[in-house]
Structure 1
Amino acid sequence: MEGIVTGSIDYTTFSENNATKINVLGTEYLIFKGISAEENEYLKDCDGYCDFYARKIVLGNFTKENGYEHGDLEYYERKVLRHEIIHAFLHESGLHDLAIDEKIVEWIAIQFPKINQMFEELEIQK
């Protein structure tokens, strides 16, 4: 389960040294991985979220000890991260209604690798 954030969150406890910086259409976002629900209450209701206003993507701590039974936890983390990055791209494109539409975001996140593979096969990715 993924989510978006519309409220105010205190990110001062997150170390930016452990964050990954990405450029989303000219806007810098920080990705924080392995954050527990104790560290961030929003993760009690979702596995990750995109905070458009703080320009942060936060992923939970995907371990069996934390109750995750998804099998390949590294794959699951990549899946959630893809989903949250799609939120960011839609928002930064000015498509705010689509950026909060979980159905379209999830469809793009699932289908994008297949679309990208076809583009690569046809050598039209750039």
Structure 2
Amino acid sequence: MLTYWIALSQIHGVGPVNQKKLLKHFQHPEAIFHATKEALNESGINPTICKAVIEAQTSEHIKKAEKLYEQTLQKEINILTINAPLYPEVAKEYKEAPILLYYRGTLTNELPGIAIN
């Protein structure tokens, strides 16, 4: 479900490096939002990031992500997760690469690159 991907990407103070660290440990964003404080600490994130994730484990945060997802659908904006086959391999090499790319149009494997506007 893309809602949890969006919710993870929207946690204040948790950037791409820590998002990927959490994803590596928990395998899926939804598991992050159901994780205990102890499990989050075991993922290797620092206490400040742990606190931010715990504070985001609310229905309000998920509802905001759902609303953003609905807006993307209405505006015909697509979302590409970092583990999707079409996510550019060269972008994955960067530690700061976002876990989500929002785009319009059609992506194919033959595209030489993408532009960010």
TM-score scaled by length of structure 2: 0.32
Structure with the larger strand share: 1
- Between the two structures, name the one with larger relative contact order (CA 8 Å, sep ≥ 6): 2
